[in-house]
Amino acid sequence: FESSRTGDIMEDRFKKYINNNFIGAHRDNPEQFIPSLDQLQCEQQLAMLGDYTKLKFKIDIKKFGQEIESYDNDWVNYLPRDGKDNSRQGLMLWGLEGDSCNDSLSLPEARQRAGRKVMEVDFKYPTQLYKDLTSIHDLCDYFAPLGRTFLVQANAGAYFPPHRDHPYLTRDCFRIVAFLENTHNDVFEWEQNGKIMTINEGNVFYVDTTKVHRTHAWHNGSIHVIMNIPKTWENVMKLMSVLAV
C-alpha cells in the first residue's frame, strides 16, 4: 500500500469500510492507544466482570422523584439529530468547572464550548443539581471525584442505536449505570452485547460500554444515570468491593 504524509494509508477501495479511523489516529499520535501497565491491569480486572454486573447499591426511587421534580423545566436535548425525531434529554451532574445542570452534556458539544479537547475525567465538578439530589449521593460519593456524569431521560419511542463508547485500552474512565424512574423491563430496554439486561428501578450496574449496546424506551420519563469513573486501580478495587455477587 502507498502511504503519504496527509494520512492516506490505504487504497481507495478499502476506505468505504472504515468507520472510525484508528489507523490514522494511531499514526498521528501513537501514545493515544498504547496502554501503560497500570491501564492494562485495570482493563484485565474489569474484563473479569463480564459485560455487566449488578452492584449492591440501591437508589430510593421515591426520594429521587421528589428531588428531581423541581428541575422538570431544565432538561435539555441530548445529542439531537436534524431530521430525526428522538426524544432524549439530559441534565449534567458532574461537569466542567462552572457548569450548570443544562450545559453541554456530550463530549463533542463540550469540546466545542470549551475550545479544547476535554476528556471524561475533566468533568470533575459537581453541579448544583448534583448537590440537590441526595438520593444518589451514597453511590456517587463512594467513587468521587467522578468524571462526566449525567442524567438521561428517554421518552416513549426514544432510543440510542447500537454503539460502543471509548473501545480502547487507554480509555480514561469505566462506566456505572443507575436505573431510576420508569426503567423496568416492561417500559425500558438496555441490550448489552446481544443480551437484554434484567432491570428493576433503583438497580445499579457496572456496564462494559466498550461492548456494543443500545437502549429503547416505551414510556415517557425513563431516567437513568451514566457515571464515568476515573480508571484507577483504587477505583477498580472499590468496584470489586461492592459487587452484588
pLDDT tens, position by position, 203-239: 999 999 999 999 999 999 999 999 999 999 999 999 9
Q: Which three cell numbers stand for residue 213?
A: 449496546
Q: Are 242 and 206 in contact (CB under 8 A)?
A: no
Mean pLDDT estimate for the chain: 92
User: DSSP H helical segments within 16-127, as ranges?
Assistant: 22-28, 37-47, 61-68, 107-114
Identify the weakest region by mean pLDDT among 5-19, 72-86, 118-132.
5-19
Question: Residue type at 49?
Answer: L
pLDDT score, position 83 = 67
Cα four-point dihedral sign 187, 54, 136, 76 = negative
In total, the chain counts a number of residues equal to 245
- List Cβ neighbours of 37 (8 Å cut-off, separation of 6 or more): none
Q: Indicate whether 7 pLDDT > 50.
A: no
Instruction: Give the pLDDT band (50/70/90) at residue 10.
Output: low
3-state secondary structure 186-215: CCEEEEECCEECCCCCCEEEEECCCCCEEE
The Cα–Cα gap between 121 and 61 comes to: 28
Instruction: Give the pLDDT band (50/70/90) at residue 32.
Output: confident
Instruction: Give the pLDDT band (50/70/90) at residue 5.
Output: very low
Beta carbons within 10 angstroms of residue 35's beta carbon: 15
Higher pLDDT, 105 or 69: 69
Q: Match 468521587 to its residue by C-alpha cell.
A: 144
Give the closest residue to 179 by CA, choosing from 158, 197, 216, 204. 204
State yes or no: cis peptide before 167, omega within 30 of 0.
no
What is this structure's pTM?
Answer: 0.91
Strand ranges inside 29-158, DSSP E: 52-58, 76-77, 88-95, 125-126, 149-154
Cα dihedral 97, 101, 107, 109 in deg (nearest 10): -100
pLDDT tens, position by position, 159-174: 999 999 999 999 999 9
